[in-house]
Structure 1
Amino acid sequence: MIDARDAITRVHHQEWARVVASLAKRFGDLDIAEEAAAEAFATAVERWPVDGVPPNPGAWLTTTAHRKAIDRIRRESRRDEKHREALMLSDREPPEPLGVIDDDRLRLMFTCAHPALAMEARVALTLRMVGGLTVPEIAAAFLVQEGTIGQRITRAKRKIAAARIPYRVPAARDLPLRISGVLAVLYLIFNEGYLATGPGEDPVRPDLTAEAIRLARLIRTLLPEDGEAAGLLALMLLIEARRPARISPEGELVALGDQDRDAWDRALIEEGHTLVRERLGAGVAPGRYQLLAAINAVHTDARDARATDWSQVLALYDRMVRLDPSPIVALNRAIAIAELRGSQEGLAEIDRLGDALNGYHALHAARAELLRRLGRDGESRTAYDRAIALTGNTAEIAYLARRRDELG
């Protein structure tokens, strides 16, 4: 029953954070909250196609998850005390104060971003619990094995239990200490929506990009002086503006240089440019998200691909490398070098990253394109094959396969 399946997918994105937050507040245990919510959604998958979608799906899921949580507590004799507390809970209890964050999902993000957890652990935990991303999707975002992500999430939960870190909405003074983790989570959620990595997913997931932008706007309101919050919002807006032109009617990814720029959302571009100019005029050294936003501002400012100011793009990546000397930043810098100084020099830069990014499809896709330009068709075909094998995005696979097959 397609309607039920679509409803479950939509409600999952809309209600996951609220259900988990409600259970965590009631039972004081993030592990129970997440597992009970997952069981409730699994029950929905079984029952909604048969029984029909309930009039209030969110309330149905909350009630079902609450019962699942109590059932689990009952089964675990070592949690008798929590069992008694759970049985005493009722909807007549006055709600806890919302604090400074008047949004369930954002509140839970800041709660999970506890500074006692390592940054990678808190980001992975929040992506799983609040973002609703699967372990394979999170692993793809971090470019690590799925088992590694599973271990990070498990260690984070154990640390919460061992250190007795409370499920508590942070006060206003705590937000600056947690903002970097929350921004990292939003950036990765947006990226998963911008170019989905999961097999069987739509190539672009507007629900994820829209939710990430919504939350970024809320953070901008909460922390108006935070430059990176403004930078991330600008970055998202400038990328989202290009979405109408990114997928062809045939379902194939359209490269930036080939996109119909008349189809770009000019209102989002203007809003993004305004934020970039505001941050550049603040007289403060820009951070990572601000520099990425500035790079995207250069791309969206060009009337066509040939008018792109690649010297400015490269200068911005030079600054990025000093802030974030990661292989992915170096790869994007190498692509800018290829556009500005030629394919041979760009390829040499990319080949230096082979060991660090051998499992990253974008490296092989970039190599394939530069080898193609240099007339090295056999090597280009091999690189296309490697890129296709490493990506799960159907639109990107279609694009890469066509480019490969055009080699003759």
Structure 2
Amino acid sequence: MAAVSMATLLRKDLRPLRIPAFRLYWTGQAASSFGDGMVPVVTAFAVIGQGGGAVELGGVLAVGLLCRLVTTLVGGVLADRVARLRLMAVADAMRFTVQFALGVLLATGHGSALVLAVGNALYGIGAGFFGPASKGLMPTLVGKDLIQQGVALQALTRSTCMIVGPAVAGMLVPLAGAQTVYMIDAATFAVNIVVLLRLPGGAARGDGGQSFRADLVQGWSEIVRRRWVSANLVVHALWNFGMAVFFVLGPVLTDKRFGGSAAWGMVSAGMAVGSFTGGLLALRWQPRRPLVAGNLVLIVSGLPLLALWSGWATPWLALAAAVADCCVVLLNTLWEATLQRVIPDQLLSRVASYDFLLTMMSMPLAYAVIGPVTGAVGTDGTLLGGAVLVTVPCLWVCLLPSVRRITGPDTETEPPATGPRADLAEAA
């Protein structure tokens, strides 16, 4: 009976896969996510293979992220003006071309750290166009009632691919070279392009069309007038800033205390398992107040910082990291599903682009200042400061009435705010 009940529940959770359009879209995204999972590994080994070190690798990664951040607002405006599926196909065609070209250049001995940096920059630009358009697509594929299951299925697929992709890339690079992995990644984009072009294009079109500046202002106004959105963006930006402490000091401290990279590898594996678990839980967990529940859960993600501060052994640190990533996936799923249910479809891509830009831009800033801050206040002080940024704002945002009033599908009972500081006034 228990097995039958579990199978019934699982079929209910997988309802989006019964929808042909979503099933086709999910197939393409699974292929693309597998390729995305290989990118960090192949980029690192490609830079090292060209004689680069930490400085060169950091520069290649930074330029890709910065180009994505800069492009994402343009991508948000375009995605609310044109057919989103076509924009996504063009963005993936760009990334296909970049990865294929890098594979050819490395195979013919013309690769260099500069070439890889330019390629990563163009790759980031393609991602900046693709991301906002994809965020505005889900309501048209599955309807408002199944958005959370659709988002959770995507998160679960990405988590799985972030486990499998790096492992496959790690095996292929020494056997067949980085150029082969770049070619495989290009092929995954080709698969997704075919899928996107087969989906009905009329089902995913925004209706922007004013001047570029007016469209940007309209998207920003949508965020400002909704106090629950603006407050959460501030909190999640602070969370990213605080969690960057873990990603900078974590490898250094585990290497120093436990004598090698294997310890950090165990922690990274724990994070991947936690993400996968979070995706499974997100399929079923539908709290009445999703943003309150999600942010309360996110408080637990400060555990790895406290574990580093306390000097926990590697297995316990890996467990703490697994729990934290599980909580992050739960929050992200609830947050994305809420945005896609409540924000009007014609504005969704612009709101998603501001969401990505404002929350992610804190991480490069954090990476730049963590070193000097650690030198000034010490490792323990930096870890505790990061833990405060990760936990306290998440608790604060749960106290806001506008956040507590978001209670489920198609529900937004807050009155419109009238100014950019309304969220602060509400907290007072």
For normalisation by structure 2, the TM-score amounts to 0.30
**Which has the bigger relative contact order, CA under 8 A and spacing at least 6?**
2
What's the TM-score once normalised by structure 1's chain length?
0.31
Larger Rg: 1
Compare the two structures and name the one with the higher helix fraction.
2
